[in-house]
Structure 1
Amino acid sequence: MPDWARAGTFRGTLGTLPVALSLDSKGESRYFYEGRSLDLFLEARRSGNALVLEESVRRDLGGDPVVTGCFSLMPAPGGLKGTWQAPGASAPLEVTLAPLDAARLPLRLPLSPGLSVLRRDDPLAFLKLNRAWVTLLGGRAVREPLSGVTYPRVPGASSALNAALQDRQLRHAADALDCRAMLPESAQKDPENGYTLSSAITLSNARVLSLREDVNYYCGGAHPDNWTEGVILDRMTGRAVPLTTLFPKLNAARQKALYLSGVKAKVDAECLDVLREDADEFTAHLSATGVNLTPSGLPHVVAACAETVTLPYATLRGDANLGSPLVKTLYPK
């Protein structure tokens, strides 16, 4: 990049259309048209003293990137000015960009730690997601409109808990938009591609809320993939609760031993061998009947072996921190 160019986020117009652009010194520059959800990726170089940002997209899976436009920018009072031109276009479009201070933008969502981090670290994602979301099912779920990601809520719960749920949804919504932006144009039109989240509350009591998240995604790589994550939250504070806070003796080795004992009846011999060899880490969610363990990090080719096993609370009484107010809700007298 030219010596004068500095990393930052800018907002302005390309022709008559509003755009936002992130200039990154590490080669990850991108921009998007406001009102649309997907980033376009840019490769930065210099031409004389001008900053040139070359926009390219893949048309089809397996195809090479095709140049679809080019910015030529120079410093100007109040920001950057220049042009954008598509290949073969008879004339360029004027571009005017001003530095964006996302911290000064009004919040359209309830303030939460994750929203503050997103505003600071990824202003482009903040611009897309900082808008009114859609309340569903009488307040028991919320849908983010651009990504379509839906996530549970708890009507009447503490603001801290619902902020934690919003923050988890923010992460998924940003990932969903990033995933679809990486797809070639032809694949973006297929609703089977991209990033889908299924999330559900698996336990809700006076002190604990637990959820299970299942993500399936295809972002243009070699194959689709998926993962599961368990979530355990303190209902009063919204903070994540590690499984070993509730069950201090349920360390990694004991989790694996109990899991293997419980999974024998659910998988064939081949999967059981895979799980004995590779299932060293687990994600956990709680339900009315016990602690549910699902292997995490299995290689893609054996991911179908990742069955969930429920460890009954009665089996885990000796592992539990029975003095914890959270654990007491799992072992009512």
Structure 2
Amino acid sequence: MFKGLCRLTGVVALICSTFSHVLWADSDTQVYTGNLGKMPIVLEVNLNSGEGRYFYQKYRQDLILSGTREGELLVMSEGADEDEHRPIFRLQPKPQGWSGEWTNAKGKVLKVELQPARLAPLTGDNLPYLTQLHDKLPYEFLRLQGLKLSKGQTENFMGYTLQWWSEPLSGVQLFEVVSGYSVQVRQRINQRLMARLWQGVGDTLGCTVDGRPGSYSQTSQPVFMSQSVMSAFTSTDFYCGGLHPNQDNETLNFDAKTGKVLTLDDVLWVGQGKPAHFEEGTDEYSSQPYPTYSEYRTKELAPWLVAQLLKRYPKEMTIKPAIEEGDCIYNDDQPWGYPLWHFTENGLKLEPSFIHAAAVCRDTAWSVLPYSLVKQHPGGVALQLP
């Protein structure tokens, strides 16, 4: 079990004790470690704009910075623009980093010393998600470094044993599969589940409103498990700025024979030619360019889904002639181009996509495509559907 960023386990390993001189740098944005007074901090700043953020390693929650360059001097204000009497960083460059002072409205002055962040090279069997953070987003990697997971309850779900884990600082929790599948399959599935847990930890700690910590709550649960397929569901309620709070749902669907993540097109394909495989944000796993894929989703899949759902659920899909405010328009293609989905005992459960203001419209307990229909339009992965 991957318990923390400084422990070696059977799933992942991050070596934290011996740091080499591997330095991450971007042409504009730099990451530094050091001290504000006696408190260790990690700071990220765009040296052209002066915009940035930092966190105390004790708390790991973002504090937003906005600033300017005054010659060589870097001056940054902490907090929201509308706040009066904001704390100020005044930093001078030094051969390796920055040195200066932090001053608050009450006149308190603390010394600041910063040096470029240096990350240890990763060795061993690492969680891919954390490897990506290490290589591309060192600020986020350093935020998670040193955190450990707490072991929770063991659960039996549909004949499979699950072990729950939580991260105490953020409160985020998720489970691992500990029995029922082969070791190799469990390892692949658990890598993705633990990646989602750590992503939730980072999102929680990085959520800010007007320069201060925002509100972020994430819950997860298994929804279906069999010898052929598996689904897990995550729901997130958050407010990290903007006009309104947000609510977002997400599913992880797996081929239980291989442990690989399944997209809807791996399971169901109604287009011409070879089924596509497109994972958002992971081009290396995608079989075709996004514009081509988007064309299929909006011009072929969405109309087909609407036709099938109208045939099976005419009452639920049909809107009133005079549309009232708050009505959920289901017999339109738009909500069905990129539906959320997961496996059930009877078929594929589809959740239409609606904007936050119409989030209540996503709650469609009835929108299930029976496996008898899905099997007539197989996707790109050979599956033994229930």
Q: Deviations over 1:136-187 (max 9, x none)?
A: 11352221222211112211452222111111222222222222x22665xx
**1:75 Cα shift?**
2.0
Q: Distance in 2 between matches of 1:66 and 1:284?
A: 47
Q: In 2, distance between residues paired with 1:88 and 1:272?
A: 53
- Check if 1:132 corresponds to 2:154: no
- How many residues matched? 308
* Residue aligning to 1:114: 129
1:199 to 203, 212, 220: 220
Is the CA contact 1:161–1:236 (under 8 Å) kept in the aligned structure 2?
Answer: no
Match of 1:310 among 352, 365, 368: 368
Change (3 A) 1:315 1:266: same
Identity of aligned residues (%): 27
- Look up the equivalent residue of 2:206 and give its one-letter code: D
Q: Give the secondary structure class of the aligned counterpart of 1:166.
A: helix
1:73-119 deviations in Å (ceiling 9; x for gaps): 122243221111112315x2111111112344899xx7211111122
Q: Residue in 2 aligned with 1:170? A: 198
Separation (CA, whole Å) in 2 of partners of 1:149 and 1:239: 24
TM-score, normalisation: structure 2: 0.71
Over 3 Å counting, the alpha-carbon distance change for 1:140 and 1:257 in structure 2 is farther
User: Shift of residue 258 of structure 1?
Assistant: 2.6
Q: CA RMSD, aligned part only?
A: 2.9
CA distance in 2, matches of 1:128, 1:178: 9
**Partners of 1:45 and 1:37 in 2: CA distance:** 25
Whether the 8 Å contact between 1:13 and 1:97 is mirrored in structure 2 is yes
- Is 2:351 the counterpart of 1:288? no
- List gaps (5 residues or longer) in structure 2: 1-26, 155-161, 272-300
User: As a proportion of its length, which structure holds more helix?
Assistant: 1
The whole-number CA distance in structure 1 between the counterparts of 2:241 and 2:257 is 40
Match of 1:61 in 2: none
Query: Residues 211 and 286 of structure 1 are in contact (CA less than 8 Å); yes or no, is this contact kept in structure 2?
Result: no
Unaligned runs of 5+ in 1: 59-63
Moved more, 221-230 or 247-256: 247-256
Query: Distance in 1 between the 2:362 and 2:313 partners?
Result: 10
Report the CA distance shift for 1:263/1:272 in structure 2 as closer, same or farther (over 3 A): farther
Provide the residue aligned with 1:320 in structure 2: 378
Query: Scaled by the length of structure 1, what TM-score is found?
Result: 0.81
Q: Quote the offset at 1:198 in angstroms.
A: 2.3
Secondary structure at the aligned position of 1:162 is classed as: helix
Assess if the C-alpha contact under 8 Å between 2:328 and 2:358 holds in 1: no
Aligned AA (2:110)? L
* C-alpha contact (below 8 Å) 1:153/1:165 kept by paired residues: yes
Question: Within 5 A, what are the aligned runs for 1:13-28?
Answer: 13-24=35-46, 25=48, 28=51
Letter in 1 for 2:368: T
Tell me the distance in 2 between the aligned counterparts of 1:52 and 1:153: 46
Deviations 1:247-300 (A, max 9, x none): 22383322232334455455774577612234232111112221010012x133
